[in-house]
Chain A
């Protein structure tokens, strides 16, 4: 272990954290974390969801204050009291969720934050932007409305914003989750140019390969604690593979392999079996805030796991919603067990065995203020035996809910606890229980492990594999390529609302999918 290397304050540090602890109701988000951030370095913060990365950034960018410990800026203990203060100290942050006003133009967004009585200094900005973009080799449409930009372009605007404000330290929070493989490479090159200009970068990610590829120094966080650090000297001395296995050891203990890369069990799918789900030439009209779908066709046979790969926001959600009956289709047909279901409502489709497990657990999957018990039956309101002649049968509901809580191992203080008080993993279990309940034939999983910790991720994946093993047809939508490669039989790639190709999950699948995602033929 090499974590003792930078505990003492170093004059070169722009920012240093000493024993920083932050608590939230029920969790210690950061537990006595030490961190040193130096100019000319990409400092990778690596950790699972819930490892405390976001909280750490919150404190550096002035959104939150530490409960214990101190933050040193240029060697001076400093309380970063507000985002304004952070900016003044030269700390610029690119948040995971875009922090741009969609109804304003790029220029207006960059100008946000000036003294309120002033006229926005547009000319000054234009000159400054021209200078920065030239040295960085990027182009930015200053007068386009932010809502018209792609997510990658929006991210560049955010980085540009930090540069316009003379940031010395740039924090990038999970910046690659919305990017294409090509976009990720470009971001890596951009970061390199920025540190060469003397900037310090903190790059937050949960992906091992990115950490190894882009970092100069890696700090590994686990459950709020810093469990190790790899300094640049060691980084340069070791090869990528060695580094990855060292990180894996830090993150997951003494196992040598990446636990996510579990071997895909070989399943035999009856090729002659009739498809359970047939989608033919499906189209959805685009709306103001969502892309449309055009000519989507695929079949899924019993026991088959079809994956949908693609960058987030390319029509995945629209596809899932159209299949579930939540979104109107423009043309095409969907057949379930050979029978067309185009005219059926959400409830009728569910009744026939088509289930949709949404990625938005609290936004649409559950009603946060309602008890856990009711949330199990949100899609069956009025159905016997839980309701008789429209009247709620509490005993029946509680009995069945208790059964599901046991069966799916939902950790909840009581059946009456509002579901929003549960952790993400447990809310996901409630949804799994609801969708996989009796009568399921085809299940659509939309980003089923998004935001879950490792244990819950693995448990959810096992549920999905079991579902397929029971002979159900499974559609697995995910932005995590590793996940798809470890689970699916075939993987289709979606881009701009179009299925651009389908790949058998064999040895060369990864490269083929990568090429499809950036618009090359497989």
Chain B
């Protein structure tokens, strides 16, 4: 059994954890942006699927992973645009529209994939890794963390960029005001609808990128329903992170480790159903909620459409 927990195994496990965590991270960061601005975005699963499909198609036909990321962001934004129009501009119920978009995109991407590729599942070539000198020589964590695709580093950098935006920029103030007291933002001369629209579209872009990472970098192919609840996990992460991007990163890594462990166990031939391990992160979070269950500090105006002068 020594081989099981050997260096190579641990390293592969960690590598897998990071790969599994990135889509969740992007989804969580995206959802966090919407929620901060007061929009509960249940359609994020649909945005991820749109991104995954278009990202795959883009990368498959162009041969460029980066072009794939571009088309995936476009796909996510397109879905987000529908959400922004219906929920932010004309104020329809966010949960209803969100679920409709998720269901619709589940169906649409499966449908399009069927007519595009019939029953074949073409693969993309394996991605190139960017090796970070020195750091990648550290045993175990070196190969796991510092021999990743460039997009992984960018996604992690995004965590800190978002943190900076929220704490140090005018946009961060605007977003928080849009979620906590939209009327105050309005009388300060900033358009609430526009601020929330920006947030929702950014969410779409991030979710789309997350979907593309899942398909193109993680799996190397697109299969219908590939997100398998990753968007909903993003919602959970965002709500638990209480507005802080770093917590989304920690949460995503926790889930990533568990997901990676499942694969590793299968490879190692251990006879525990993978479902047991998949349950672990949820179990951990639920236990935490039961033990420390307190009112999650959600934005005051979350889920409520803004109407100027409504009394």
Contact = CB atoms under 8 A, between A and B. Distances in A.
Contacts of A61: 187
Contacts, number: 81
Interface in A67-110: 82-88, 93, 95, 97, 99-104, 108-109
A116 B170 contact: yes
Given A101-B177, A103-B180, A118-B170, A112 B188 contact: yes
A64 interface: yes
Contact of A104 (B177, B190, B195, B300): B177
A64 B188 contact: no
A194 B73 CA distance: 52
B111 interface: no
Contact of A112 (B184, B300, B308): B184
Contacts of B176: 101, 103-104
| Interface size bracket, B side | 20 to 34
Nearest to B182: A101
Nearest to A58: B309
Interface residues of A, number: 32
Given A61-B187, A99-B187, A113-B188, A120 B173 contact: yes
Contacts of A84: 189-191
A28 interface: no
Interface string B167-210: 01111011011001101111111110001000000000000000
Nearest to B175: A116
Contacts of A95: 187
Given A99-B183, A99-B184, A101-B177, A113 B189 contact: yes
A171 B114 CA distance: 63
Q: Interface majority SS on B: helix, strand, loop or mixed?
A: helix
A113 B190 contact: yes
Contacts of A120: 168-170, 173
Q: Interface majority SS on A: helix, strand, loop or mixed?
A: loop
A366 to B, nearest CB: 16
B169 A117 contact: yes
A112 B181 CA distance: 12
Contacts of B183: 97, 99
A522 to B, nearest CB: 38
A87 B191 CA distance: 13
B286 to A, nearest CB: 25
Contact of B173 (A83, A102, A111): A111
B181 to A, nearest CB: 4
Contacts of A113: 185, 188-190
A97 B186 CA distance: 14
Interface string B137-179: 0000000000000000000000000000000111101101100
Interface in B279-311: 300, 308-309
B169 A112 contact: no
A112 B185 contact: yes
Nearest to A61: B187
A73 to B, nearest CB: 16
B171 to A, nearest CB: 4
Contacts of B169: 116-120
Contacts of B184: 99-101, 109, 112
B181 A102 contact: yes
Contacts of B309: 58, 63-64
Contact of B170 (A82, A103, A119): A119
A265 interface: no
Contacts of B195: 116
Best-buried of B169, B170, B300, B309 by chain A (most CB within 10 Å): B170
B163 to A, nearest CB: 14
Best-buried of B183, B186, B189, B195 by chain A (most CB within 10 Å): B189
Given A83-B188, A112-B188, A120-B168, 17 more contacts: A63-B186, A84-B191, A86-B189, A88-B189, A97-B183, A100-B184, A101-B176, A101-B177, A102-B181, A104-B180, A111-B170, A112-B185, A112-B190, A113-B188, A113-B189, A116-B170, A118-B170
Closest 8 CB pairs of A and B: A84-B189, A113-B188, A112-B188, A116-B171, A99-B184, A101-B181, A101-B177, A113-B189
28 contacts: A63-B309, A64-B309, A83-B186, A84-B189, A84-B190, A84-B191, A86-B189, A99-B184, A101-B185, A102-B180, A102-B300, A103-B180, A104-B173, A104-B176, A104-B180, A111-B173, A112-B174, A112-B177, A113-B188, A114-B170, A115-B170, A116-B171, A117-B169, A118-B170, A119-B170, A120-B168, A120-B169, A120-B170
Interface of B: 168-171, 173-174, 176-177, 180-181, 183-191, 195, 300, 308-309
